[in-house]
Every structure is written in structure tokens, then in C-alpha cells.
Amino acid sequence: MAGVRRVSRRDVLRGMAVAGLGAPLARWVVAEERPAQAGARELEPVPVSSRPRYPAIRTSEGVVQPQRPLPVLEETDVLVVGGGAAGFAAAVAAARAGVRTTLIERYGYFGGLWTGGMVLLVMGTHAVVQGKLQKTLRGIGDELLARLSKLDGAIVNYGEDRANPTVDPEATKIVMDEMVSEAGVRVLFHSWATDVVMDGERPCGVVVDGKSGRHAILAKILVDATGDGDIFAAAGAEHEQRLHAIGLVHRLGNVDRADRERLKSAGFGNLGSITPHPSVTWVNLRGPSSNALDVRELTRLEIQHRRAIWERVQALRKQPGGEALFLLDIAPQLGVRISRTLVGMKQLTRTEARESRTFPDTIGVGGADAGRGPQWPIPYGVLVPKRLDGLLAAGRCVCVDEKLIESMRLIAACLVTGHAAGAAAALCVQDRCEPRHVDIGRLQGLLRQQGAYLG
Ligand SMILES: Cc1cc2nc3c(=O)[nH]c(=O)nc-3n(C[C@H](O)[C@H](O)[C@H](O)COP(=O)(O)OP(=O)(O)OC[C@H]3O[C@@H](n4cnc5c(N)ncnc54)[C@H](O)[C@@H]3O)c2cc1C
């Protein structure tokens, strides 16, 4: 191993600048709205951005995309695609292991479904081990929760002997920003990975679309943390695809002023689950089983669910006891539970999980959904494509059987597989090997060094 690279202050500043976080350091925070001061550069004309034009062309055979050169935005060691729970942990783990790490995310914040989808309850943090409730989520995921516990109004129900805390989404985004920046990860928000760059049979980068146009990012190892397996699918890895309930979460305000008993007796029992704020709850609506890879379907559900939520809250407000309630917000991200899952070197089954089966290549441990149940070791093979090299999967799209999907997609498990995928990707770079050839002993050593729990 090339040794753990020390992160200098300059690295941190550079990381923050890339993440757009330089401003607070320079004491230039978003100011209150007031007329521009003399000398401000607001509305100052700048040269029009020039970029080569390669429009698609309509031909008699259909619409054709002409061959075009792509500018390479950067070359890195590990490229993590997707900044949800899994991608966040993967990027921090890889960067802390001392390799150049870039993280790209289609939206403008980290957390994915956890923050943007407002799925605020972190399930699977604990399990019953030898008769005692024990924390199974450790390492980078637990460090994030511990940091939240130091902030006012950021987390509730967090502790060694308390399973499944609930977070505030904005606090979580901010602490994720901090941890990613401190680790020296280079971040690109507002960047959709729309394809892969292949070197023969092996992916070696992604094509990214955004306001800056289309460009390529090249990397030695990719981590697909898109949740939907966008990258391994584009690279040709074998995978499965499923329909699942697609919902939309919203938050209610003034819940502490509602008469719950009266509302319940009128048939309005679901006022949601607790958050760190006594007056606010988050409400999880399930939705129909549908195809999360069909944008027309996603659009239809978004509009339909938003209308249903609005009408539901209006109905609540008309009930005696519900007058003070209001719709605080609707999650900016639709609640996609599952779409693609990888066909990996190993498929973990629910039977193995229920039996707490141990594996020589364990890279983390899943906890019990409701906190009371056995721990289940997670083998490395669930992250590694059966045939494709150059890539690891992390989060809700890793390789499990149908019956274990509901447990593997919980936030704690996504943090665990993300952490492991990032550490493994770093070792691939340092040892110049493919993910399937990673030295498991060294990987487990690195994970333990980074605080992970391996059972
Ligand atoms: C309605 C609902 C309720 C749930 N309830 C709970 C619960 O109570 N407790 C619990 O623990 N879990 C719950 N879950 C599951 C859990 O929230 C998710 O499975 C988990 O957060 C997934 O994390 P992830 O990092 O794997 O994926 P995601 O959170 O989906 O993150 C993927 C990230 O990649 C980005 N991305 C995707 N494609 C691209 C691309 N092509 N280019 C660039 N960026 C891309 C996305 O914007 C996102 O930030 C629930 C899920 C849903 C939908």
C-alpha cells in the first residue's frame, strides 16, 4: 500500500473550493437581500461562453448523434458516481485511504434519497448480538451521525443503545459537505453521468452532461453509487431490473398543535414519524409499483403524488383538531426504492442473512430493520460485477436476492457498502489490480483502520 496520504490544509481548501465551499471560509456568506452596493459586479457582461456545437441531426433513418470529441474535465484515481448515502461514504473512504477521488452528483447536495428524498429515519444501525443490542453501523456512516449529534436540532434517537435515529435533512447535507471537503474529495454537483467511457471491455470513465456542456472524466476505478446502477448498466455489466413502489415523502408542520386523538378517531391516524423538531413529522407515502427508469412514468407519478399530498393535507386541515397543520414541504426527489441490481460475484441471500452466516471476505455488517434482530455479515462479492472489471457497485443496487432487497436498501446498509466500495477502490489503485483481485486481508485491515465493524 502506498501509505495513507496526509491531507494538507491546501488540500482541504482546494476540496472546499471544488465543492463550492470556499465562500464561508472567505467570510462571504449568502447576504440578506438588499440593493447591490456600488462596485458590485452584478449584471456585468462577460464574454459569451463558447463551445463547439455538435447538435444531433434529423435524418431519414431517425435522429443521429454525430461523432464528437469530448473535452476531458479531469483524470482521477477513483471516480464515485452519485452522492447518496453510499456514494458519500465511498468517496470519503477512498480519499482518506490516500488516492485522488472525485465525486459527481446530478443534484446540488449530498444524501440522495436520505436528504433529497426526505427518508429521514436511518434504519438498520443496530442488531442483537449475543443477546445484547449492539451498533453495527460504525466507521464513516456512524461518524456522520455522531457529528450530527453534536449539532442542535440535527438528529434524534442517536446513541450506542438506541437503534435507528432520525436526522434533519439540511443538517445532514451540511455535515456531508464538511466531511467530503475535509477528506479532500473533488466534487462536481449538477453533473449527470449519462454514459461510460470504455477502454476495450473495461470502463475507464464517464460522460457527464450539465450546464458546462458534455465532457468526460477519466478514472482508474469507478464506483457506481447511482442507486439505479446507471453506470454498470451503461458499461454492459449483467444486472436485474425490478418494479417497486415509488412514493413521495412530505413533512408536516405544527404537528404538536394537532389533536391526534380526534384526528385518529376521524380516520386520519397517520401524522407521520418524528423528526428532531417536535413540531415537524415526515410522512412516508408508498405509491404504486412502477418502473423507475421510465422518465414519463416518473413525471406522471411526481405530479400525481404531489396532488395527492396536497389534497391529503387540505383534508387534514378541515378536520377538527387538524386546523393548525400545514404542508411544510414535499421532498424534491421522488421515492425510488429499487430499479436495477447488479449480478455480482456473490449474491447474498436472506437465508444467509437470517442465519448470520459469516464469510471470509466480510466487508461490513447489516443491522436489523427494526433494531431487534440478528446482524448479517456482508461479503465483498456483492459489490463486484460477475464479469466486468474496473468498477464496484455500492448502495441499494448491490447484489442480493429478492428477499433481502428490503434490508440491503436501508440507509445504514448503504453507508456500509459505500464505505467498503470506496476502500476497495482505493486499494485497486494502490495495488494496480482489478476489484475481483483485491487482497481481502488488506481490505479488511483498511476498513478496520477506518473504524468499520466487520463482526
Ligand atoms: C419512500 C422511501 C422510504 C424509505 N424509508 C426508509 C427508512 O425509513 N429507513 C431507511 O433506512 N431507508 C429507507 N428507504 C431506503 C433508503 O432511503 C435508500 O435505499 C437509500 O437512501 C439509498 O441510498 P443510495 O446511496 O444507495 O442511493 P440514493 O440515495 O438513490 O443515491 C444515489 C445518488 O446518485 C445520484 N445519481 C443518480 N443517478 C445519477 C447519475 N446518472 N449521475 C449523477 N448522479 C446520479 C442521485 O441524485 C443520488 O444522490 C426508503 C426509500 C424510499 C424510496
DSSP-derived secondary structure letter, 109? S
Per-residue pLDDT at 361 exceeds 60: yes
95 grid coordinates: 480519499
This prediction's pTM: 0.94
Ligand 1 atom, smallest distance to 124 CA: 11
CA–centroid distance, 83 to ligand 1, in Å, is: 9
Which residue has the least CA distance to atom 50 on ligand 1? 119
Q: What pLDDT is stored for residue 21 in this prediction?
A: 43
Per-residue pLDDT at 394 exceeds 50: yes
**Tell me: the pLDDT tens digits for 267-310?**
998 999 999 999 999 999 899 999 999 999 999 999 999 999 99
CA–centroid distance, 77 to ligand 1, in Å, is: 25
* Long-range Cβ pairs for the range 295-302 (8 Å, 24+): 298/246, 298/334, 298/336, 301/246, 301/248, 301/334, 302/248, 302/334
Which percentage of the chain shows pLDDT scores above 90? Answer: 88
E runs forming strands in 309-433: 326-330, 335-336, 340-342, 362-366, 376-379, 391-393
SS3 134: strand
CA–centroid distance, 416 to ligand 1, in Å, is: 14
CA–centroid distance, 216 to ligand 1, in Å, is: 25
Per-residue pLDDT at 11 exceeds 50: no
User: What does each C-alpha distance from 409 to 14, 370, 375, 396 come to in angstroms?
Assistant: 33, 14, 15, 4
Q: What pLDDT is stored for residue 22 in this prediction?
A: 42
User: Which residue from 119, 192, 215 has its CB within 8 A of the most atoms of ligand 1, so it is best to mutate?
Assistant: 119
Q: What pLDDT is stored for residue 29 in this prediction?
A: 66
CA–centroid distance, 81 to ligand 1, in Å, is: 13
Q: How many Å apart are CA 177 and CA 21, to the nearest integer?
A: 8
CA–centroid distance, 411 to ligand 1, in Å, is: 8
234 grid coordinates: 451503461
Cβ atoms of 145 and 107 within 8 Å: the answer is no
Per-residue pLDDT at 6 exceeds 90: no
Per-residue pLDDT at 42 exceeds 50: yes
User: What does each C-alpha distance from 93 to 86, 97, 198, 383, 384 come to in angstroms?
Assistant: 11, 6, 25, 15, 17
CB neighbours (10 Å) of residue 37? Answer: 8
Per DSSP, the chain holds a count of helices (H) and strands (E) of 12, 23
Q: What pLDDT is stored for residue 7 in this prediction?
A: 42
**Tell me: the pLDDT tens digits for 85-140?**
999 999 999 999 999 999 999 999 999 999 999 999 999 999 999 999 999 999 99
**Tell me: the pLDDT tens digits for 216-247?**
999 999 999 999 999 999 999 999 999 999 99
When pLDDT is cut at 50, 70 and 90, the band that residue 25 belongs to is very low
Q: What pLDDT is stored for residue 161 in this prediction?
A: 93
Name residues whose C-beta falls within 8 Å of residue 4's C-beta, 6 or more positions apart in sequence.
Answer: 96, 97, 98
Is 87 a pocket residue for ligand 1 (Cβ < 6 Å)? yes
Is 408 a pocket residue for ligand 1 (Cβ < 6 Å)? no
Q: How many Å apart are CA 159 and CA 136, to the nearest integer?
A: 12
Is 337 a pocket residue for ligand 1 (Cβ < 6 Å)? yes
Which residue has the least CA distance to atom 22 on ligand 1? 396
Is 123 a pocket residue for ligand 1 (Cβ < 6 Å)? yes
Which residue has the least CA distance to atom 15 on ligand 1? 410
Is 336 a pocket residue for ligand 1 (Cβ < 6 Å)? yes
Per-residue pLDDT at 14 exceeds 50: no
Helices (H), 97-197: 139-149, 169-183
Name residues whose C-beta falls within 8 Å of residue 206's C-beta, 6 or more positions apart in sequence.
Answer: 79, 81, 104, 193, 194, 195, 196, 197, 216, 217, 219, 222, 231
Instruction: Give the CA-trace dihedral at 429, 432, 434, 437, to 10 degrees.
Output: -110
Cβ atoms of 179 and 92 within 8 Å: the answer is yes
Q: What is the mean pLDDT of residues 145-172?
A: 97
CA–centroid distance, 227 to ligand 1, in Å, is: 6
Ligand 1 atom, smallest distance to 111 CA: 49
CA–centroid distance, 435 to ligand 1, in Å, is: 24
Q: Which residue's entry shows cell 466534487?
A: 187
Q: Which helix (H) or strand (E) holds 72?
A: strand 72-81
Quote the distance between the C-alpha of residue 202 and its chain's center.
24
Is 225 a pocket residue for ligand 1 (Cβ < 6 Å)? yes
Is 395 a pocket residue for ligand 1 (Cβ < 6 Å)? yes
**Mean pLDDT of the residues in the chain:** 93
Per-residue pLDDT at 3 exceeds 80: no
Q: Which residue's entry shows cell 455489466?
A: 237
DSSP-derived secondary structure letter, 65? -
Per-residue pLDDT at 26 exceeds 50: no
Is 208 a pocket residue for ligand 1 (Cβ < 6 Å)? no
When pLDDT is cut at 50, 70 and 90, the band that residue 24 belongs to is very low
Q: What pLDDT is stored for residue 19 in this prediction?
A: 43
When pLDDT is cut at 50, 70 and 90, the band that residue 398 belongs to is very high
**Tell me: the pLDDT tens digits for 299-341?**
999 999 999 999 999 999 999 999 999 999 999 999 999 999 9
**Phi and psi for 362 in degrees, rounded to 5?**
-60, 135
Q: What is the mean pLDDT of residues 131-152?
A: 97
Which residue has the least CA distance to atom 41 on ligand 1? 193
CA–centroid distance, 114 to ligand 1, in Å, is: 6
Is 105 a pocket residue for ligand 1 (Cβ < 6 Å)? yes
Is 410 a pocket residue for ligand 1 (Cβ < 6 Å)? yes
CA–centroid distance, 393 to ligand 1, in Å, is: 14
Is 169 a pocket residue for ligand 1 (Cβ < 6 Å)? no
Ligand 1 atom, smallest distance to 287 CA: 1
CA–centroid distance, 116 to ligand 1, in Å, is: 9
Per-residue pLDDT at 372 exceeds 70: yes
